[in-house]
Amino acid sequence: MKNTILLFLLSATLLCAQQVYTTFDVEAKQHSDLTLTTTGVINHVYVDIGDRVKEGDILLTLDNDDLKLAIDLAKADLELADVNHRFAEKTYERYLKVKDVIDDDQFEQYLLAYEKSIASLNASKANLAYKKALFEKSILRAPFSGVIAKRHKELGDGVSGAMIEPVITLVSAPEVKLVFSFDEKYWQKIKVGSPVSYRVDGNDKLFHGKISKVYPTVDAKTRKAFAELYTKSFMPGLFGEGTIEVE
């Protein structure tokens, strides 16, 4: 009797469940067409297509010898400003102790020199920080760990910061997302956690997973809704089909 009840409940569940046909594209979980915001000529390329990189790794650099020189000059200017400031500070503090016995105009001159030295020191610090920022803009670093998918520029090519053109394409790996499309009439039924069974083109194995994200919009032209499933080890660009289980 107990087995009969369990069989009845299982059958009722299967009858209530509905399989929604879906197709999907395999996309990198993270995809970035990296650019540089400064203008120059590429003098070093440190990666090639297929190379794995870590976040912060240098991918390429522009010819930046002039920027290195500018940093050296800014450092020298800062050192001089610091010397002048320390001298002005000691002079001001010395005359501050005898302020009551010296001419007011003379004391004001020392105070003004001290205040100017502070302003000059701050300006030199800001200038050095600015030169360093310009130098960093000539270096392209990986914003996240992944695989080099494409090199849009080669050694010796020019880069225009004004055009904001892609230099290197970086994609996450092995993490990918499957972007499912399905008929809009199921938009209220498919939810995060809905079970999915799917096959990838060129692979007969049946895979299983659960919806990770449901898009909040519908394509007005195709009348398709979309959802994502996160997984690993598939090549971005592949295609597949499957079913999403809904009640």
Mean pLDDT of the chain: 90
Other beta carbons less than 10 A from residue 6's beta carbon: 10
Q: Is the pLDDT confidence value at 4 over 60?
A: no
H, E, C per residue of the chain = CHHHHHHHHHHHHHHHCEEEEEEEEEEECCEEEECCCCCEEEEEECCCCCCEECCCCEEEEECCHHHHHHHHHHHHHHHHHHHHHHHHHHHHHHHHHCHHHCCHHHHHHHHHHHHHHHHHHHHHHHHHHHHHHHHHCCEEECCCCEEEEEECCCCCCEECCCCCCCCEEEECCCEEEEEEEEEHHHCCCCCCCCEEEEEECCCCCCEEEECCEEEEEECCCCCEEEEEEEEECCCCCCEEEEEEEEC
pLDDT of amino acid 180? 97
Listed range (70-79, 121-130, 182-191) with the worst mean pLDDT: 182-191
pLDDT of amino acid 163? 83
pLDDT digit string, tens, across residues 40-79: 999 999 999 999 999 999 999 999 999 999 999 999 999 9
Name 57's Cβ contacts closer than 8 Å, sequence gap at least 6.
Answer: 46, 47, 141, 142
pLDDT digit string, tens, across residues 191-241: 999 999 999 998 989 999 999 999 999 999 999 999 999 998 888 999 999
pLDDT of amino acid 12? 44
> What is the amino acid identity at position 47?
V
Please, which pLDDT band fits residue 5 given cuts at 50, 70 and 90?
A: very low
> What is the amino acid identity at position 118?
I
Q: Is the pLDDT confidence value at 13 over 80?
A: no
Q: Is the pLDDT confidence value at 107 over 90?
A: no
Q: Is the pLDDT confidence value at 11 over 90?
A: no
pLDDT digit string, tens, across residues 19-30: 999 999 999 999
Listed range (4-13, 33-42, 163-172) with the worst mean pLDDT: 4-13
pLDDT of amino acid 207? 96
Burial class (CB in 10 A: 0-12, 13-18, 19+), 238: middle
Please, which pLDDT band fits residue 16 given cuts at 50, 70 and 90?
A: low
pLDDT of amino acid 100? 77
Q: Is the pLDDT confidence value at 17 over 70?
A: no
pLDDT of amino acid 40? 94
pLDDT of amino acid 45? 96
pLDDT of amino acid 133? 96
